[in-house]
Structure 1
């Protein structure tokens, strides 16, 4: 038992009258005067109020006590020091209300050996939310940004991981800021995950910018939805990674990112990575390296292949992003290597619908670039009206025997 305690409130039908004279208890019990079904148990972990003292054990105890269908409350105006990983083990149908702040330590010696700060593994039903809109999860990543600038081998944890076949997970109406690495990981066969009304920001106070701060990395997870979300970061806004299936993204704004990206795929020799059934509708892409894209490694002795199928990006507004669309098969290697070992990946049913706005001047007059892999390729544009700052637009295409429709292609 930890020195940090929590308050637990349970409403139960027919409490024994003798409890009124019982010895004092750390659990406050209140009768349900309406004689209805028992209400949810509620636990409020008590913070030590000291950033040097770990509040994670108290939170873990609260989850253990109230996780089976109960509610855990992080109260408004209170900051909890997260100096060790918070595991949601024991949460089944639980509600975790964050109205205050959960702030991770910057102890990179500890986090070096832990792959996430908040973990859901094997969780069957959980809602993490802020009812008041005041909840903050602070990754406190500045130390990681500064050290990674001179030590690129530094291991940094994800801010939040969902894995181990977790299902029926909802995370909504929370501000997440400054992760040491990525914001969200979803994979491990997890399914039925909804991210809604989230605000993700990564910013540095030094000259060293945050690195690898992907907003959402969706791996082997299915039926994932991201809605009404804003992301300001320095890497992929959403990355559709190997194994993801049935993912929808609606009404998202991404600033400073590497875009809404499939991949990277086909890195490992002998592997055939798959991404399928992706639908994006409504994206505002501001000052990004690209608005949308597919990143594929070439073939040859160093890499594998990939199959990307039934992917749609629709109603995308480009605002000073370098490319509107960048689909390619030469990721992570030199042009010479890619010429010798072109990708054998397959792009099928890739749809780009109603793209508008203006790119940056970085590649003007080019606004998009599409390179088909040698395996198979069918890419369709509909309603493409993106312009460069010059008021013109050029789309560079390399078909490699595939088809690119709905756009006038230029060879260079």
Structure 2
């Protein structure tokens, strides 16, 4: 159920209906059933129907709202969804198997999801989903928030915790999407380590901005997927992740994946498998060809990561011989690694970077002010198939 309290009615009551300076946005406050076994999504949908056209939908402070079915915000047109309490995913792993997403933002033009108090939380209730997945890796878990074919979307100031799978995905030709001042964390619980909890998967889209973000997870912090174009990441801290990654790309037979015009700056990478990198599949009929062009990593601080930078052109294969028989034909062009500082972990010491470029493709990469050391004080860089004068000396051949 919901409480419908349009501001226009309030102004009529208080005799201010004709004051042109007042904002007449309708407001609906969603009432929680207060029962974890009850699905509050129908109440949310009703509120959107009443107040979604330019209005405000409020989740009250101090309340927990049960999300037991997909929350599709269709009908939200230039609306604001204001989360002051907690939205929590149900325990129903059977229902959620195979569902694409928990929150579906599809075909929306103009929406803001935020909190004014700073207390808003979206709890993905990850543990039961991680447990099922650990026992059965074919179990298909939902993304927490999925943006598809939408524009002018703002998600700000919220905390997202314990996603069952990926936290945020944007794709389907979406544009002008902003993620700002968010905290994402997936914390191991009861001895269960979360898997595939990417912070942000940016697919087919233009002008996506990710800024002022903290992510603690166990997979990619940010992944630029096929079709990502004009993506900016600024002021992000990633802890425990697989790093900030282009890819993986070229995994599908006959695919022609592209990632273009990406700029990452002011990234602090803590205890990650790598700080930044590119993941490409090998060549051959079972894979495709990728193009990565005009990508810049600038101002990256490395704290205890395996590699500061990594390029893989045989991603996902355990056989070097197989990769050699079908080398990648992908293009890596105008990729810049600038103003790096800090130290890697002991994992690959004395190697700080492993750059295995496509053997049958193109690789133009450039390093400047790359001030990274391993714990031993050395800074060895492994590289293969680099076509440009990359600005760093190579200590041997790369792999991967």
Q: What TM-score do you get using the length of structure 2 for normalisation?
A: 0.96
Alignment of 1:97-116 (within 5 A): 97-116=82-101
Residue of 216, 219, 240 corresponding to 2:200: 216
Aligned to 2:265: 281
Alignment of 1:145-294 (within 5 A): 145-163=130-148, 165-294=149-278
- Equivalent residues of 1:188, 1:219 under 8 A apart: yes
- Equivalent residues of 1:12, 1:39 under 8 A apart: no
Q: Secondary structure at the match of 1:148?
A: helix
Residue of 3, 7, 23 corresponding to 2:4: 7
| Alpha-carbon shift at residue 85 of structure 1 (Å) | 1.0
Moved over 6 A (4+): none
Aligned to 2:371: 385
Aligned to 1:21: none
Distance in 1 of aligned mates of 2:229 and 2:385: 26
| Alpha-carbon shift at residue 31 of structure 1 (Å) | 5.2
- Equivalent residues of 2:351, 2:382 under 8 A apart: yes
Aligned to 1:68: 53
- Equivalent residues of 1:7, 1:46 under 8 A apart: no
Q: CA RMSD in A?
A: 1.4
Say yes or no: does 1:51 pair with 2:36: yes
Q: Secondary structure at the match of 1:302?
A: coil
- Equivalent residues of 2:2, 2:28 under 8 A apart: no
Residue of 262, 285, 290 corresponding to 1:306: 290
**Any gaps of 5 or more consecutive residues in structure 1?**
16-28
- Equivalent residues of 2:120, 2:159 under 8 A apart: yes
| Alpha-carbon shift at residue 155 of structure 1 (Å) | 0.6
- Equivalent residues of 1:51, 1:81 under 8 A apart: yes
- Post-superposition CA distance 1:142-194 (Å, at most 9, x none): 0011111110000100000000x200000000000001100001001110000
Q: Secondary structure at the match of 1:11?
A: helix
Aligned to 1:26: none
- Post-superposition CA distance 1:304-354 (Å, at most 9, x none): 110000000000000000000001201011211111111000001000001
Residues 179, 277 of structure 1: alpha-carbon distance in 2 compared, 3 angstrom cutoff? same
Say yes or no: does 1:330 pair with 2:314: yes
For the pair shown, the structure with the greater C-alpha radius of gyration is 1
Say yes or no: does 1:122 pair with 2:107: yes
Q: What TM-score do you get using the length of structure 1 for normalisation?
A: 0.93
Aligned to 1:366: 351
Q: Secondary structure at the match of 1:386?
A: strand
Distance in 2 of aligned mates of 1:269 and 1:38: 54
Residue of 48, 56, 79 corresponding to 1:94: 79
**Any gaps of 5 or more consecutive residues in structure 2?**
none
Residues 404, 335 of structure 1: alpha-carbon distance in 2 compared, 3 angstrom cutoff? farther
Say yes or no: does 1:134 pair with 2:119: yes
